[in-house]
Amino acid sequence: MTHFVPTAPTRLSRRGFTAWMASAAAVGVVPALRPSAAGAAEAQLAPRLRIVIPANEGGGWDQTGRALGAAMIASGAVGDISYENIGGKGGTIGLAKYVEKYDADPDTLLMSGMVMVGAVALQKPAITMAQVAPVARLTSDYEVVAVKADSPIKTPKDLIAQLRADAAKTVIAGGSAGGVDHMYAGMLARVAGNAGALVYQPHPGGAQVVEALESGKAAAGISGYSEFSEQLANGKLRAIGVSAKRPFLGIPSVREQGVDADLANWRGVLTGKKVTAERKAVLLEAVRRATQADVWQKTIKRNNWDPYWMAGKDFESFLDLDTAMAGPLIYLLKLKA
């Protein structure tokens, strides 16, 4: 049975509303209606959806996935959301289990992003990004380079100098091997002139990166701002730079401090390869409506993410290019699994 529900026009006359309901009934689905904030009726696109988050709770993917689910409910697009966390190896374990369990499931989405693209390129697992289908790109954020508050490393140039002097003792902690944190560490090591000597300590989430810094197991840590924000605010950690081209939240960019290395991280949502085109259109509309909800906009602002919307053929082309570039970049940076 197809799950396609025709999208309601922004405004409906009584005759248009009747015709739209008839078209929905014709494909075997009568959409539930939910009052919008303005009092008009909006179609509920799905009674329930599942979001698979290929990471442990608390990290960037988890924050994004749960924020998306909350916004889907708030917008009225979906009645109920469940979450399934499957962490490990930069999302490649979650990717494999998603393809195994939900490849044809019309009610299950998968969080993804640059971390997964890089992890697939580095680890070369049996299940790759080619076995899932893009829905939409959602957000972008930057890499923050942080150190313990009392660290002698004050600037990115200090970190580069320490990497040159003794890379073995200049451990850099970050997310999963091959992910965006690892890539950025590799870029810094390449600037230092000894990318092959980089000692990178991968962790399943931002909380573990913070712990590595606070315990002294790592000289520097790389993660998204939202995962460091609490410790930066309470003074336990200190940000020495951000991977943007310009200052971000008062943190000077690494580039403007004389180290040529900038990088942005993106996150998005995918679906199963065997899900019908009609159902993909419904899922895309549910995601689109969620990103227009006030709760999503507030979450974007609170976490200091950049809206980075892209869908359709544009997102397919973007993902193809990102996937094609990941392998050469990992080779150039001499990243190791």
Retrieve residue 63's tokens.
Answer: 């924050």
Residue with tokens 């950690």: 237
Query: What is the CB-side half-sphere exposure of residue 278 using CA atoms within 13 A?
Result: 9
Q: What is the mean predicted confidence (pLDDT) over 323-336?
A: 91
Average pLDDT over residues 306-314: 95
Instruction: Report the alpha-carbon distance of residue 26 to residue 18 in Å, rounded.
Output: 12
pLDDT of the residue at 1: 37
Kindly list the structural domains of the chain, giving each domain's residue range(s) and its CATH number in brackets, ordered by start: 45-139+267-331 (3.40.190.150), 141-264 (3.40.190.10)
- What pLDDT score was predicted for residue 40? 39
- pLDDT bin (cut points 50, 70, 90) of residue 139 is very high
Per-residue pLDDT, 19: 44
Q: Is the pLDDT of residue 8 over 50?
A: no
Instruction: Please state the separation of Cα 329 from the chain's center in Å.
Output: 19
Whether 18 has a pLDDT exceeding 90, the answer reads no
Query: What's the mean pLDDT in 93-101?
Result: 97
- 223 sits in which H/E element: strand 220-224
pLDDT band at 13 (very low <50, low <70, confident <90, very high): very low
In 3D space, the residue among 263, 281, 260, 280 whose CA is nearest the CA of residue 271 turns out to be 280
Q: What is the pLDDT of residue 176?
A: 87
The string of DSSP codes covering 158-205 is HHHHHHHHHGGG--EEESSTTSHHHHHHHHHHHHHT-GGG--EEE-SS
- Which of 15-24, 148-157, 286-295 bottoms out in mean pLDDT, i.e. has the lowest? 15-24
